[in-house]
Amino acid sequence: MTYVRRTSTISANSPSTKFHHPNPFLDDHGHMLTQAQKDALKQLTFEHLSLQRLFTLQQQPQTITQLDDAELVEFLTIANSFYRDGQPLISDHDYDHIALAELKTRQPSHPFLHTVEPEPKFTGKTVELPARMLSTEKAYTDKELSDWLKRIHKAANEIGRDPAGLQFRITPKLDGFAAFDDGDRLYTRGDGRRGTDITRAFERGLVVANNQPRGLGAGEIVVQRSYFAANLAQDYENPRNFQASVVKEKALEPAVEQALGNQAVVFYPFSTLPYRVRRSDDLIDSVAALSRELRASLDYDMDGIVIEITDDELKTYMGATRHHHRWQIAYKQNQEKAEVKVLQVVPQTSRSGRVNPVAEVEPTRLSGALIQRATAHHYGMVRDKGIGPDAVIELTRSGEVIPKIIDVVKAVEPQIPASCPSCDTELFWDSDYLYCPNNTGCPAQISHTIEHFFRTLGNIDGFGPATIEKLYTNNIRTIDAVYGLQADQLEGMGFGPKQSENLVNELQRSRHEVIEDWRFLAAFGVFRMGGGNCERLLGHHRLEEIFELSEEQIVAIEGFAERTAEVVVKGFARIRPLFDKLQALGFNLQRTPLVSELQASGALNPIAGKLLVFTGTMTHGSRDDMKAEAKKLGAKVGASVTGKTDYLVTGDKVGASKLNAATSKGVEILTEEQYLKLIGTTISSAKEQS
């Protein structure tokens, strides 16, 4: 694997760790970690995953299945700790259906799956809970629900109950912070058996929902949905994020204090929740409607419904696993699409000057996450489909944190900016895209370029959007100027003494730590030159040669088209002055090995990248084995000879037509023996090995 592994705690350099976070920023790469998440990450120790890797997993949750076992468990642990802290990294849907499901398939008895997922540690006395507070078993489909029902029926029969007579109590599954109120103290769920004293929440003004008395046992701390949407949605990413802060030991933030004062945050005992009762025979058919009904009757966020049997004797008989009560299940429907109303379309100028539309929408819950904004592909879509205030759009969430607009249900007058939101310069259209032409003076373009640089280097902390914005207002607007900063200068700009020192140390570290030259080049953000293309290019030409390269030389490299070569040559010319200045600062660059060198040294097999066709009966192994081996060495294997074939490898009893085709197309023909020699093995040594 090629990503950087960090084996120790990510260097602590966090400026004031703010618990709640304002709207997350979406950078050019669509990276969505918020500052608070990044700060929290710094507290964690990674053994298997890197920060970059987490970024990728967050952006492409489907790649979670490619992690190895240890990485997967580490990822689950990290995701869980973020979730409990009110800042989910990925959606519940992806957590359950991709990450957890993967572990279930691979290691059904892994301890992670069979205990209550741990909550963050709070200060406070730990006590034995009067009753166990477990997780719930989950059903996402009617089939899963009916399987559960069968188990209930079986148990009922075992103790002589008539399954048809059983009653099921259905309550909303509150999406809050679980707690237990014994009338005197309030405790967290902890590990399900022992919780931590968080009575301070009541002392801070938490009330029991609907003026109910204290001491009603298990429940959740929740915030009113309407209050959240009206007063908190701008500052808190989701209600979980807000709710968790009510019980934290640190001083309350003003918004939390205010919400408590307004009695908008409550402890809701489960025993006082609105409920419905159904019998076995009409349970499954009615769950969807009940779910909607209960949602409408409750001004708190819910995450499905909880179904449990009411027969106490049967409950006792069925008991619990270490993870859940067998007599209870949560039913969650997958809601992957939603229709929402647009509040406004906000323009965001990117590093390249392209202005991207972000639709702010009425807060809507979609597969476990609160959605407040969505991205349109480009302003052409906004223009052609009529997206603006009051438009109704259809959203889908396919793993990304910010969902995409898939369709417009109700079109309106499109909301399109005339000038750049950052520098006010008049925008221009280039087919479907809007651009700010002010490349050298637009604050957004300049700041994002600097952010991109540091983020791509990946070996420097502390230079996030907030820092860069502050530097910008203090006239530090180029990367070389940032590298020239001294601690006292930073202090003069309003950075704290400790932070100033840290920032200067980080700048030094980023120059002294070894970094791959392709990563360094990618940091300059030349159009079409992301990490992959930089590495490919530097596999053929040295970093110091790139400014002399012609379009022809670039096109000659596999993977570069003519149009790309043209913009790349221009792009290199543009960055050259900055490049020279930064290189003079002495970064510790590690060269990308040249393909030619690798081939000469034998590190790269001569057939790597070549297209081979095998024909005839082989003696070295079966033809399939040989094909597999060739692929392992980096070759591609074709079925028939074409003009692109590099070698035709021939065994015994070869048909004349293949040989003729090879000859007429100028394809080199190798006997099996010649081939084995080429790849550095002989028939006998190959046989010994196998």
Ligand X SMILES: NC(=O)c1ccc[n+]([C@@H]2O[C@H](COP(=O)([O-])OP(=O)(O)OC[C@H]3O[C@@H](n4cnc5c(N)ncnc54)[C@H](O)[C@@H]3O)[C@@H](O)[C@H]2O)c1
Burial class (CB in 10 A: 0-12, 13-18, 19+), 601: exposed
Residue type at 318 in one-letter notation: M
Q: Which residues contact 460 (CB under 8 A, 6 or more apart)?
A: 454, 506, 507, 509, 510
| Candidate residues 39, 71, 92, 451; the one interacting with ligand X per rule CB under 6 A | 92
Q: Which stretch binds ligand X (CB under 6 A): 85-93, 355-363, 504-512, 522-530?
A: 85-93
Dihedral class, residue 353 (left if φ above 0, else alpha if ψ from -120 to 50, else beta): left
Q: Is 300 annotated as a binding residue?
A: no
Least distance (Å) from Zn ion to the CB of residue 525?
16
User: Does the protein bind Zn ion through residue 423 (CB under 5 A)?
Assistant: yes
| Candidate residues 34, 372, 422, 449; the one interacting with Zn ion per rule CB under 5 A | 422
User: Does the protein bind ligand X through residue 71 (CB under 6 A)?
Assistant: no
3-state secondary structure of 110: coil
- Please report, for residues 23, 225, 398, the alpha-carbon distance to residue 237 in angstroms, rounded to integers and kept in the order given: 6, 13, 19
Residues 154-173 that bind ligand X (CB under 6 A): 171-173
> What does residue 278 show for φ and ψ, rounded to 5 degrees?
-135, 160
Least distance (Å) from Zn ion to the CB of residue 493?
23
Residue 422 binding: pick among Zn ion, ligand X, none (C-beta 5-8 Å cut-off by kind):
Zn ion
Residues 109-148 that bind ligand X (CB under 6 A): 117, 133, 135-136, 138
Residue 442 binding: pick among Zn ion, ligand X, none (C-beta 5-8 Å cut-off by kind):
Zn ion
**SS3 sequence of 473-531:** HCCCCCHHHHHCCCHHHHHHCCCCHHHHHHHHHHHHHHHHCCEEHHHHHHCCCCCCCCH
User: Does the protein bind ligand X through residue 83 (CB under 6 A)?
Assistant: yes
Q: Return the exposure string of 627-637: e unless at least 16 CB atoms fall within 10 Å of the residue's CB, then b.
A: bebbeebebbb
3-state secondary structure of 410: strand
3-state secondary structure of 95: helix
User: Does the protein bind ligand X through residue 89 (CB under 6 A)?
Assistant: yes
User: Does the protein bind Zn ion through residue 436 (CB under 5 A)?
Assistant: yes
Q: Is 95 annotated as a binding residue?
A: yes
| Candidate residues 221, 266, 309, 330; the one interacting with ligand X per rule CB under 6 A | 330
Q: Which residues contact 479 (CB under 8 A, 6 or more apart)?
A: 449, 450, 453, 578, 582
Residue 149 binding: pick among Zn ion, ligand X, none (C-beta 5-8 Å cut-off by kind):
none
3-state secondary structure of 223: strand
Least distance (Å) from ligand X to the CB of residue 160?
27
Least distance (Å) from ligand X to the CB of residue 467?
28
Dihedral class, residue 362 (left if φ above 0, else alpha if ψ from -120 to 50, else beta): beta
Residues 469-498 that bind ligand X (CB under 6 A): none
User: Taking a C-beta distance cutoff of 8 angstroms, is the pair 361, 393 a contact?
Assistant: yes
Handedness of CA 191, 192, 196, 199 (dihedral sign): positive
| Candidate residues 53, 189, 448, 627; the one interacting with ligand X per rule CB under 6 A | 189
Residues 295-324 that bind ligand X (CB under 6 A): 306
User: Does the protein bind ligand X through residue 80 (CB under 6 A)?
Assistant: yes
Least distance (Å) from ligand X to the CB of residue 371?
14
Nearer of residues 448 and 511 to Zn ion, judged by Cβ: 448
Q: Which stretch binds ligand X (CB under 6 A): 13-21, 77-85, 339-347, 636-644?
A: 77-85
Least distance (Å) from ligand X to the CB of residue 34?
14
| Candidate residues 19, 95, 227, 520; the one interacting with ligand X per rule CB under 6 A | 95
d(CA 563, CA 574): 17
- Please report, for residues 106, 606, 612, 683, the alpha-carbon distance to residue 620 in angstroms, rounded to integers and kept in the order given: 36, 19, 16, 6
Least distance (Å) from ligand X to the CB of residue 91?
6
Residue 438 binding: pick among Zn ion, ligand X, none (C-beta 5-8 Å cut-off by kind):
Zn ion
Residues 598-627 that bind Zn ion (CB under 5 A): none
Nearer of residues 239 and 353 to Zn ion, judged by Cβ: 353
d(CA 89, CA 33): 8
Q: Is 442 annotated as a binding residue?
A: yes
Catalytic residues: 173
User: Taking a C-beta distance cutoff of 8 angstroms, is the pair 476, 504 a contact?
Assistant: no
User: Does the protein bind Zn ion through residue 196 (CB under 5 A)?
Assistant: no
Q: Residue for token digits 């166990």?
A: 132
DSSP-assigned beta bridge partners for residue 638: 613
Least distance (Å) from ligand X to the CB of residue 555?
45
Q: Which stretch binds ligand X (CB under 6 A): 83-91, 421-429, 599-607, 625-633?
A: 83-91
Q: Which residues contact 555 (CB under 8 A, 6 or more apart)?
A: 561, 562, 565
Pattern 248-287, binding to ligand X, x per CB under 6 A?
A: ----------------------x--x--------------
Q: Is 16 annotated as a binding residue?
A: no
Neighbours of 303 (CB within 10 A): 16
Least distance (Å) from ligand X to the CB of residue 145?
15
Burial class (CB in 10 A: 0-12, 13-18, 19+), 256: buried
Q: Is 534 annotated as a binding residue?
A: no
Q: Is 2 annotated as a binding residue?
A: no
Residues 437-466 that bind Zn ion (CB under 5 A): 438, 442
Pattern 594-623, binding to ligand X, x per CB under 6 A?
A: ------------------------------
Burial class (CB in 10 A: 0-12, 13-18, 19+), 14: buried
Residue 436 binding: pick among Zn ion, ligand X, none (C-beta 5-8 Å cut-off by kind):
Zn ion
- Please report, for residues 56, 140, 360, 514, the alpha-carbon distance to residue 456 in angstroms, rounded to integers and kept in the order given: 13, 39, 28, 14
Least distance (Å) from Zn ion to the CB of residue 381?
21
User: Does the protein bind ligand X through residue 96 (CB under 6 A)?
Assistant: yes
| Angle, vertex CA 670, rays to CA 665 and CA 674, nearest 5 | 160
Nearer of residues 117 and 400 to ligand X, judged by Cβ: 117
Residues 192-251 that bind ligand X (CB under 6 A): 220
Least distance (Å) from ligand X to the CB of residue 85?
10
Q: What is the CA radius of gyration of the chain?
A: 30
| Candidate residues 24, 86, 88, 399; the one interacting with ligand X per rule CB under 6 A | 88
| Candidate residues 40, 64, 156, 174; the one interacting with ligand X per rule CB under 6 A | 174
Q: Is 473 annotated as a binding residue?
A: no
d(CA 616, CA 583): 55
What would the DSSP string read from start to end of 329-352? EEE-----EEEEEEEEEEEEE-TT
Residue 461 binding: pick among Zn ion, ligand X, none (C-beta 5-8 Å cut-off by kind):
none
Q: Residue for token digits 């994020």?
A: 241
Known binding positions for Zn(2+): 420, 423, 436, 442
Known binding positions for NAD(+): 92-96, 135-136, 189, 220, 332
> Using CB under 5 A as the criterion, which residues of the chain lie in contact with Zn ion when the complex forms?
349, 420, 422-423, 436, 438, 442
> Using CB under 6 A as the criterion, which residues of the chain lie in contact with ligand X when the complex forms?
79-80, 83, 88-92, 95-96, 117, 133, 135-136, 138, 171-174, 178, 189, 220, 270, 273, 306, 330
Known binding positions: 92-96, 135-136, 189, 220, 332, 420, 423, 436, 442
